[in-house]
Structure 1
Amino acid sequence: MSSPSSSSSSSAAAHLTLLALLSATTFYCFYKSRRLKKLSSSQTLHPLNLSPPPPPKPKLFFISHTGTSKTLAHRLFDLLTSNDLAFDLVDPNHYEPEDLHRETLVLIVASTWEHGKPPPSGGFLANWLAESAEDFRVGSLLLSKCRFAVFGVGSKAYGETFNAVAREFSKRMRALGAAELLAVGEGDVDGGELDEVFDGWTKKLIEVLKGGFLENGVRGWNESDSEMISSDGDDDDGEENGEESGIVDLEDIAGKAPSRKSKTVIQSNGKLNGEKEMVTPVIRASLEKQGYKIIGSHSGVKLCRWTKSQLRGRGGCYKHSFYGIESHRCMETTPSLACANKCVFCWRHHTNPVGKSWQWKMDDPLDIVNSAIDLHTKMIRQMKGVPGVKLERLTEGLSPRHCALSLVGEPIMYPEINSLVDELHRRRISTFLVTNAQFPDKIRMLKPVTQLYVSVDAATKDSLKAIDRPLFGDFWERFVDSLKALREKQQRTVYRLTLVKGWNTEDIDAYSSLFAIGNPDFVEIKGVTYCGSSATSKLTMENVPWHSDVKAFSEALAQKSEGNYEVACEHAHSCCILLAKVDKFKVNGQWFTWIDYEKFHDLVASGKPFDSNDYMAASPSWAVYGAEEGGFDPGQSRYRKERHHKSSH
């Protein structure tokens, strides 16, 4: 049996041991929490993975035709592997250039083919780089995380075009912000020294990649340097240097060579304003030259040729034939000159800005509507005295009753689009809004418009990418989701198809399959309008379908719908056909594609739910498909220009 004193000593020792354990546990928990907090704060983009994602594996591209560049690339690949530098060997014919901004290291072995052009396998990549570098809307920081080096294979016998492709790749990559590891290597296939020159260049390259430094202070890349490229960790230099922490958009609208540094201006009221103008001086000058009247900082209005035509009694556009629009009382405007696509058939040759989200100064919707009407009526007044324009039509034209929210750009991008639509309807001006099917959420939140269009420029993912050239990587998912959003609308809805011969005229089955997704009331099918070739669009008159081609396509598409749609109207003058849902708009054998505009405005003003059947009106006989007039209003005078073609002899 222990004594009281020994029991007390044992109890004290136990207490001390317990306190020590608690202290150690508390210290460990405190240390662990600080460590986790530090890791979490430096890697907020990866809350479930405390290590930053590895950089993409470096790429070695070969652009070859006869096989010389491919052979050299394989030799370089083996050399890199033997030096513990892991690369992917890539044929650019199977590479998506839109992914280039994610690359951290790119090597290129490129041959120059006929007339200083790349071989076919590298043509798409070369064109993409050239277009991006020359497009003032693309930021020069696009490839800012990328290091690169180029070796060219050519023949000095071709003089000025010797290794033109390699030089061009170097120039374009640098223009887009990539850092060149060493000067372009230039090998001559006819000089007898190609192997020697290539080996010398690759030796320098390996030295740089294994940790050497360039004269300009740009460090070479190796796998241990991934932090230098991905910039993850505890370093706060970016904020101290005034750089933004956000992602740089692929398409920067501010102009060439934008800076990531915040362009903050202190206003007279002492507040900070970092907003930028959508319409730069260069864009403004270009659009004004094309006849646009710029409203504020991001909107525009333009007098349509069909407005001028109907003022002169020479007929209206297809909207007059299909829906009863008075073309001389129609105002074409847009609250956003920016777009999320760069379509090959863009009639403005991409002089308007592009972007994936609203990032500019925003004007008040009331100011936009007031200015649009004011500028539109001023342009109408300028038609006074033009041969054929009568005072009655001119007076009517000064009071626009319809607004086509299309023109150029993507009107639904404007954050206050609902307020703008409300203001137009308050003035009893009807609204036709066209969206490019890249903003499904905005389609869902849009208030009722008189008629809502979605551009369906292609029926497959590959053809849509080729024709619309969208900025979004998930463009197809956005496109399909936009069609689903259209289906939810109760007001009149339209698929707008633009046929481009040689691009999308063979996809009848694929187009037909899209009908079930959006279930549109109407399908407008129009042949593309040729507006001349440009650096960004190589369409020619060969791509423009005849009206007979559009008719044949439309009839075949209607037949595929198994009776759900029929060809209802046509407007031969503008090479346009209208399909309409039979069960909604064909009543007792008569088409009701026209609109009762006064009824529409009454329905909007009532605040009660309504649908497309509530404001339809009968179509006149001359507008119906197959009519002798071909959709031309007999109340107008058809004017045909005399065309004197030079003899080919």
Structure 2
Amino acid sequence: MAGRWDAQLGGDKPLGEIEILQLWHDHRLPILGITASIGLVIWLCLLSYRAREPAAYVPGDDTSSIKPAATNSAAGWEEKATPLKTTPKDPVGGPRRIKGELRKPNGARVLSEPAHERRIQVLVFYSSLTGTTERTANGFSHTLTTSLQEQPAELRGIFLKPQVLDLTQIDYDEYFINPPKTADSRFSVDHFYLILLPSYNIDTINDNLLEHLKETHHDFRIDTAPLSGLLGYSVFGLGDREGWPSEEDGFCFQAKEVDKWMAKLTGRKRAYPLGMGDPKRDLEQRLDEWTTGVKDVLALVATTGSLGDGVAGSGNAIESDYEDEPEEVDDDEVIIEEPITQKKQKKTNGGNIDDVEDLGRIMKASQPENEGTNGAAPPIAIDFTTYGKKTSKKTLQGPKEMVPKNSPTYNSLTKQGYSIVGSHSGVKICRWTKSALRGRGSCYKFSFYGINSHQCMETTPSLSCSNKCVFCWRHGTNPVGTTWRWVVDPPDVIFNGVKAGHYQKIKMMRGVPGVRAERFAEAMRIRHCALSLVGEPIFYPHINEFLAMLHGERISSFLVCNAQHPDQLAALKAVTQLYVSIDASNKESLRKIDRPLHRDFWERFQRCLDILREKRFKQRTVFRLTLVKGFNVEDEVDGYADLVERGLPCFVEIKGVTYCGTSTSAGAGLSMANVPFYAEVSEFVTALDNKLRERGLAYGIAAEHAHSCCVLIASERFRVGGKWHTQIDYQRFFELLEERGADGDWTPEDYMGPETPEWATWGNGGFDPRDERVDRKGRKIER
């Protein structure tokens, strides 16, 4: 027995087996590790091989309302999906192999997916007690269906047939907590919400909807913008102006609330402004405007996958009327900029000088530190036409562009919101245009002359100027000079370019809270052009051709010049209203405040007044006085009366300066202390009016716009039957142009408009009663 145990223990085994066993015991761990590694490599290779096989890709399973293999041949809509592709290794009827892919946001994946895999579903929600809104929603859906069928072939297949949903018949959780989901995975469907809602002062389904939207937004368990997956939304309200004559009194108040809460829940995806209509008055017109806008947005979404560019704060989900970013706007607008740091100043001063606009900065830098902000004017006016006697290589090579695209000037202006057209023109949307679109008031030109601010384009064919006024909001950014030495762009290029730039900026206002759909629709048709943006418009060599193009499309022209180019002013043909800036009453004051570049600036100034006197029976002429405390207000009333007596303008606009709030303004000696209060402007106007009467001049205070700190003095020529008629008959103006030509014989009285509205006359404030004044946080201001 003992021998058998010895044999089992290896005593009788051959020497080779014992050595192999010993090796295994000594190296078994490394051997096992190597074997496991080889197996892992083989497994990974198999996975890689399978991953390279073609596989059917299903874009997503977030679609819910599509019925498979359904076809509506009568309507022309096809909802049948393209069959899924399967690989040869997939068993028939077995599970499909899906290739994994990181899901992208709806707006980002639109263009990367094949058209047949993507669909857009428009959902039209409504509530109705009397049946009016239901009929309106069904009619709108039919119109939209027909319109979508008329889209180009590449877009037509993207849209599914719009669905009309009664808010009383649906579960809110299925539509207003998350976008709807579809079980059919053959489509990737994005949803677009359109909500038609009447307003009631009794308990209705509207109250339930609003409560649901509020609770969803404030529910800590739900994302604050759970509907951000929507392509977009828009709301149309139906109301009764007999019961609620204005929005302030409650007209369409529930539609406004739904619009506000949808902005929060969608994360600022208001695709088109809130529309509002009265079934007894203007429903058809307002609904047509809203429908047209919605169709345009749907086409844009289908083509680009997004709602387009928006301004800062566009559709802000914080809502609404509160905008905490500083406003940067032109012509009666406040601009708040951060002071330039010393580091940036040194870097700028050390750079190359490409344009003469840098001279002001050089002169400032060369002054002692204690004299940097004392507001002292340069000892002499500089005439750049005699600057240097040698001809540079650049001059020999021909004229350069005024604002090259790679220049600091171009970058600075575009950052300020300008669209640069060509090489020397620009367009920018005005604050008053934005304000009028939102029903918050129009500029003084509406009160005085009947201009709709939301239909006004502010532009200039020349960004260059021959003055460096202390109150200019573009110090150091626009070029300056006394003669045109740049490339000249054709007038048609400028005309088409500024229109396109203006319309693009209007479109960017679609998602801004409070924009009125009817005014947005009107804004897409320019009716007025203010040639007063920045620079000197009559500096452009083809200004008359540019004006003719404006008038050819029945766009009125309001041109402002700085009284430094008498030859161009004399050659100027008919404009709707011609302005000359009168910023001082004497030579020394003009030198300080306008800081002109011409040596003979005062002589030029006086010649321009004489030319305006000659034109006063040809077209409407205006003196524009900008009051700056400490510069041109104190003890200058008599001097201004002398200038009015010399030029005899049709109108005199007196306006308080607007402080820019920039470091360059401080360098020019300007601060908030130089901004007059409206009471001080009114006192100055009254004193000037008295002086004119003492001289036997037939003038009177006609109108005011306190919101702009602006008052209008008018010639008695525009006082008929004891009533002021400062407004313009634009239709008649264009008829005169067509009948008699730009050099024809007519007078300003021939296109004098209707009576100045009572609310705009002196002593009544001048704020449009259709609008509502609010502060910067959207709170109502009592008038």
Q: Do these two structures clear the TM 0.5 threshold for a shared fold by scoring above it?
A: yes
| CA contact 2:358–2:476 (8 Å) conserved in 1 | no
Partner amino acid for 1:138? V
Q: Distance in 2 between matches of 1:409 and 1:640?
A: 31
Q: Is the 8 A contact 1:137 1:251 kept in 2?
A: no
Task: Find the counterpart in structure 1 of residue 620 from structure 2.
Answer: 492
User: 1:136, CA displacement in angstroms?
Assistant: 6.1
* Aligned residue number for residue 776 of structure 2: 641
Give CA deviations for 1:138-166 in whole Å, capped at 9, x if unaligned: 39999xxxxxxxxxxxxxxxxxxxx9969
What is the distance in 2 between the residues matched to 1:558 and 1:141?
40
Asked if 1:138 is matched to 2:356, the reply is yes
- Matching residue within 741, 752, 763 for 1:616: 752
Gapped runs of 5+ residues in structure 2?
Answer: 1-347, 361-365, 373-382
How far apart are residue 135 of structure 1 and its match? 7.8
**Counterparts in 2 of 1:184-199, with a 5 A limit?**
none
Report the alpha carbon displacement of residue 449 of structure 1 after superposing the two structures with TM: 0.1
Partner of 1:515: 644
**1:311·1:390 contact (CA, 8 Å) conserved in 2?**
yes
Structure showing greater relative contact order (alpha-carbon pairs closer than 8 Å, 6 or more residues apart): 2
Asked if 1 retains the 8 angstrom alpha-carbon contact of 2:357 and 2:477, the reply is no
- Residue of 595, 600, 609 corresponding to 1:474: 600
C-alpha change, 1:327 and 1:164, in structure 2 (3 Å) is closer
| Structure 1 partner of 2:738 | 605
Q: Is the 8 A contact 1:139 1:251 kept in 2?
A: no
Question: What is the match of residue 429 of structure 1?
Answer: 555
1:56-113 deviation digits (Å, cap 9, x = unpaired): xxxxxxxxxxxxxxxxxxxxxxxxxxxxxxxxxxxxxxxxxxxxxxxxxxxxxxxxxx
Indicate the residue corresponding to 1:387 in structure 2: 513
- In the alignment, what sits opposite 2:540? 414
**Aligned-partner residue type, residue 710 of structure 2:** C
Please tell me whether the aligned partners of residues 349 and 537 of structure 1 are also in contact (alpha carbons under 8 angstroms).
no
SS in 2 for 1:249: helix
Q: CA distance change for structure 1 residues 331 and 248 in 2, over 3 Å: closer, same or farther? A: closer
Please report how far the alpha carbon of residue 414 of structure 1 lies from its aligned counterpart in structure 2 after TM superposition. Answer: 0.3
Separation in structure 2 between the aligned mates of residue 462 and residue 134 of structure 1, nearest angstrom: 33
Structure 1 residues 131 and 570, CA gap change in structure 2 (3 angstroms): farther
Cα deviation 1:3-22 (Å, max 9, x = unaligned): xxxxxxxxxxxxxxxxxxxx
Structure 1 match to 2:691: 560
- Equivalent positions of 1:204-243 (< 5 A) are none
1:443 equivalent in structure 2: 569
* SS of match in other structure, 1:431: strand
State the Cα deviation string for residues 283-308 of structure 1 (Å, max 9, x = none): 10011111100000000000000000
Cross-structure match for 2:681: 550
User: Using a 3 Å threshold, how does the CA distance of structure 1 residues 565 and 164 change in structure 2: closer, same or farther?
Assistant: closer
Distance (whole Å) between structure 1 residues aligned to residue 661 and residue 359 of structure 2: 31
Given that residues 357 and 480 in structure 2 are in contact (C-alpha distance below 8 angstroms), is that contact kept between their aligned partners in structure 1? no
Q: Which residue of 1 aligns with 2:657?
A: 528
Distance 1:328 1:262, change over 3 A: same
Of the three residues 554, 566, 572, the one matched with 2:706 is 572
1:157-203 Cα deviation digits (max 9, x unpaired): xxxxxx9969x99xxxxxxxxxxxxxxxxxxxxxxxxxxxxxxxxxx
RMSD (Å), alpha carbons: 2.9
> What SS is found at the alignment partner of 1:387?
coil
Moved more, 408-417 or 348-357: 348-357
Secondary structure of the residue aligned to 1:423 is helix
The 8 Å contact of residues 495 and 522 in structure 1, kept in 2 or not, is answered as yes
Query: What letter matches 1:346 in structure 2?
Result: C
SS at match of 2:459: strand
Kept after mapping to 1: 8 A contact 2:692/2:698: yes
The one-letter code of the counterpart of 1:620 is P
Matched residues in 1 for 2:553 and 2:669: separation?
42
Q: Is the 8 A contact 2:356 2:481 kept in 1?
A: no
Query: Helix, strand or coil for the counterpart of 1:594?
Result: coil
Partner of 1:300: 426
Q: Find the partner of 1:275 among 399, 420, 425.
A: 399
Following the alignment from structure 2 to structure 1, what is the Cα–Cα distance between the partners of residues 535 and 436?
A: 25
Once the two structures are superposed, residues 496-552 of structure 1 have per-residue CA deviations (whole angstroms, 9 ceiling, x without a partner) of: 000001111020000000112111000000000001142442311100000111111
Q: What code does the residue aligned with 1:585 have? A: F
Change (3 A) 1:596 1:461: same
Offset of 1:611 from its aligned partner?
A: 1.2
Q: How far apart, in 2, do the equivalents of 1:133 and 1:473 lie?
A: 28
Amino acid at match of 2:752: M
Distance 1:484 1:460 in 2: 16
Q: Secondary structure at the match of 1:403?
A: strand
Q: Is 1:367 equivalent to 2:493 in the alignment?
A: yes
2:640 matched to 1:504? no
- Inter-CA distance 642–370: structure 2 relative to 1 (3 Å threshold): closer
The equivalences for 1:349-364 within 5 A come to: 349-364=475-490
Question: What is the CA-CA distance between 1:377 and the residue it aligns to?
Answer: 0.4
Q: Distance in 2 between matches of 1:499 and 1:165?
A: 29
Find the residue that maps to 1:452 and give its secondary structure.
Answer: strand
* Structure-1 separation of matches of 2:476 and 2:451: 29
- Is the contact made by 2:448 and 2:727 (CA closer than 8 Å) also made in structure 1? yes
- Paired residue secondary structure (1:568): strand
Counterpart for residue 320 of structure 1: 446
User: In the superposition, relative to structure 1, how do residues 262 and 398 fare at CA in structure 2: closer, same or farther (>3 Å)?
Assistant: same
| Corresponding letter in the other structure for 1:503 | F
Q: Which residue of 2 aligns with 1:539?
A: 670
Alpha-carbon shift at residue 642 of structure 1 (Å):
5.2
What's the offset of the Cα at 1:259?
A: 8.3
Preserved CA contact (<8 Å) 2:384 2:481: no
Q: 1:585 aligns with which of 711, 718, 728?
A: 718
1:334 aligns with 2:469: no
Amino acid at match of 1:453: Y
CA distance in 2, matches of 1:132, 1:576: 42
CA–CA separation in structure 2 for the residues paired with 1:297 and 1:288: 13
- Work out the CA distance in 2 between the residues paired with 1:132 and 1:527: 37
In 2, the alpha carbon distance for the partners of 1:250 and 1:292 equals: 31
Tell me the number of residue pairs that the alignment of Structure 1 and Structure 2 aligns: 402
- Deviation of 1:353 (Å): 0.4
Distance (Å, rounded) in 2 between the aligned partners of 1:570 and 1:586: 16
Specify the code of the residue in structure 1 equivalent to 2:680.
D
Instruction: Give unpaired runs (5+ residues) of structure 1.
Output: 1-129, 143-162, 170-246, 253-257, 266-272, 645-649
Aligned-partner residue type, residue 622 of structure 2: V
Identity over the aligned pairs, expressed in percent?
54
Distance, in Å, in 1 between the alignment partners of 2:758 and 2:357 is 53
- Residue 393 of structure 2 is matched in structure 1 by 262
Partner of 1:180: none
Shift of 1:391: 1.8
| Offset at residue 348 of structure 1 (A) | 1.2
Provide the C-alpha distance between the structure 1 equivalents of 2:619 and 2:358, rounded to a whole number of angstroms: 43
The whole-number CA distance in structure 1 between the counterparts of 2:384 and 2:731 is 47
CA shift at 1:641, angstroms?
A: 3.3
**In the aligned structure 2, how far is the partner of 1:429 from the partner of 1:165?**
50
Shift in alpha-carbon separation, 1:589–1:449, aligned structure 2, 3 A: same
1:392 Cα shift?
A: 1.3
Inter-partner Cα distance in structure 2 for 1:141 and 1:329: 38
**Partner residue in 2 for 1:311:** 437
* AA matched with 2:650: D
